[in-house]
């Protein structure tokens, strides 16, 4: 556990090579439609597993309604994304250094949703991200539940979208609704499907097949089966300890599965050109059609 002081980086690290000139940042958005499916658990553990495999990783919590990335990692934010929007601090002041050097940008619970943010606040975020000088390879974006504009926008701006689904009718229908609007309205052509809380391996594939059948019929989108995370008591214990399961209980079944997912995510084709830079990620957010800024 880090000391309260070392947890909080008052400034972005200096003397780092920065992103420009480095390989583009890969942005992975995690969404699900329905709440409580496991987005934050997946985001936190995927980010930690990527970090452990040597990827410089930043975990961005965009759930201003029900943020809990910082809670899950036992971090104590001094400032959050909500403070950035309110003009109370600079983005780099929200940066927390988590375990294994994972960078975390926390949101804030009980604040306005991304959708309710003013256009100039989006612009402010773009500007702020472009000023960050944190060398990262991968950025994992944890999203709010639902299919509000903010969620769609973050997914659209990412190179890869992981849709988390579990074996509940509402989860499957919400995942379908999310995939539908992403493919029809936002030009997303490839989705990674991750089954969570499965009782056995076959359950995950069955869930995927269910989604695949209906999307193949009605939508023009490619679904990839990323795999399954078992329902795991160790994961719940890790949440209670405010640690990622991959750190707290590395041999737990869910931890093994998360490392496997991270390994596979590392093999996805690298983003080409500068579009993967964090500042471009943010610029794509505001440049998208339908945005109040565009
Ligand atoms: N693989 C899993 N095994 C056991 N419990 C899980 C698993 N994934 C999620 N949970 C439980 O579901 C709860 C909600 O997960 P969370 O990641 O916060 O979902 P979301 O971010 O989609 O709302 C967690 O607090 C945990 O208790
Ligand atoms: Mg969540």
Question: Each residue of 270-287: pLDDT tens digit?
Answer: 655 544 456 666 666 656
Q: In terms of Cα–Cα distance, which of 15, 68, 288, 9 is closest to 157? A: 288
Answer whether residue 77 is part of any domain.
Answer: yes
Tell me which ligand sits closest to the C-alpha of residue 64.
Answer: 2
Answer whether residue 120 is part of any domain.
Answer: yes
The sheet with strand 138-142 has its strands ordered as: 96-97, 103-105, 57-61, 138-142, 26-31, 160-165, 190-198, 222-230
Question: Each residue of 216-252: pLDDT tens digit?
Answer: 999 999 999 999 999 999 999 999 999 999 999 999 9
128 lines ligand 1 (CB under 6 A): no
Answer whether residue 54 is part of any domain.
Answer: yes
Mean pLDDT of the region 197-204: 95
pLDDT at 177: 97
Q: Which residue's entry shows tokens 């059609």? A: 289
What is the phi/psi pair of residue 279, to 5°?
-65, -35
Ligand 1 nearest-atom number relative to CA 166: 8
CA 273 to ligand 2 centroid distance, Å? 31
Q: Is the pLDDT of residue 160 over 80?
A: yes
Q: Are 136 and 87 in contact (CB under 8 A)?
A: no
Q: In this predicted structure, which of 50-59, 191-200, 280-289 has the lowest mean pLDDT?
A: 280-289
171 lines ligand 1 (CB under 6 A): no
Which pair of structure tokens corresponds to residue 160? 């890869």
Q: Which residue's entry shows tokens 């990783």? A: 57
This prediction's pTM: 0.86
- Whole-angstrom Cα distance, residue 113 to residue 94? 18
Answer whether residue 204 is part of any domain.
Answer: yes
Domain that holds residue 262: 23-287
Answer whether residue 4 is part of any domain.
Answer: no
34 lines ligand 1 (CB under 6 A): no
Q: Residues forming the annotated binding site for ATP? A: 34-41
- Split into its structural domains, the chain has a count of 1
CATH number at residue 89: 3.40.50.300
pLDDT at 17: 35
Answer whether residue 66 is part of any domain.
Answer: yes
32 lines ligand 1 (CB under 6 A): yes
- Residue from 29, 30, 32, 38 to probe ligand 1 pocket by mutation (most atoms less than 8 Å from CB): 38
pLDDT at 279: 61
User: What radius of gyration, in Å, describes the C-alpha atoms of the chain?
Assistant: 18
Tell me which ligand sits closest to the C-alpha of residue 32.
Answer: 1
Q: In terms of Cα–Cα distance, which of 25, 18, 72, 81 is closest to 48? A: 72
Answer whether residue 16 is part of any domain.
Answer: no
Question: Each residue of 99-144: pLDDT tens digit?
Answer: 999 999 998 765 555 556 665 555 556 556 656 778 888 889 999 8
Answer whether residue 93 is part of any domain.
Answer: yes
What is the phi/psi pair of residue 108, to 5°?
-150, 135
């Amino acid at each position: 556990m880090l000391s309260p002081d070392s947890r909080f980086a008052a400034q972005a690290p200096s003397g780092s090579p920065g992103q420009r000139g480095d390989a583009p940042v890969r942005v992975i958005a995690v969404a699900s439609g329905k709440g409580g499916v496991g987005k934050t658990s997946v985001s936190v553990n995927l980010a930690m597993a990527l970090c452990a495999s040597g990827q410089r990783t930043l975990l961005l919590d965009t759930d201003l309604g029900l943020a809990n990335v910082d809670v899950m990692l036992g971090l104590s934010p001094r400032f959050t994304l909500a403070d950035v929007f309110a003009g109370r601090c600079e983005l780099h002041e929200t940066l927390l250094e988590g375990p294994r050097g994972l960078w975390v940008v926390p949101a804030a619970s009980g604040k306005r949703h991304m959708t309710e943010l003013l256009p100039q606040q989006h612009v402010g975020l773009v500007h702020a991200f472009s000023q960050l000088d944190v060398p990262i390879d991968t950025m994992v974006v944890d999203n709010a539940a639902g299919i509000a504009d903010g969620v769609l926008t973050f997914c659209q701006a990412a190179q890869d979208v992981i849709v988390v689904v579990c074996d509940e009718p509402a989860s499957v229908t919400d995942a379908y609704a999310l995939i539908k609007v992403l493919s029809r309205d936002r030009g997303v052509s490839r989705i990674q499907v991750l089954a969570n809380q499965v009782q056995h391996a076959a359950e995950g594939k069955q869930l995927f097949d269910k989604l695949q059948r209906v999307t193949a019929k009605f939508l023009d989108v490619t679904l990839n089966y990323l795999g399954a995370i078992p329902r795991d008591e160790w994961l719940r214990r890790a949440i209670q300890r405010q640690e990622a399961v991959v750190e707290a209980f590395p041999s737990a079944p869910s931890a093994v599965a998360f490392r496997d997912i991270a390994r596979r995510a590392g093999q996805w084709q690298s983003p080409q050109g500068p579009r993967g830079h964090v500042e471009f990620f943010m610029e794509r957010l505001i440049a998208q059609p339908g945005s109040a800024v565009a």
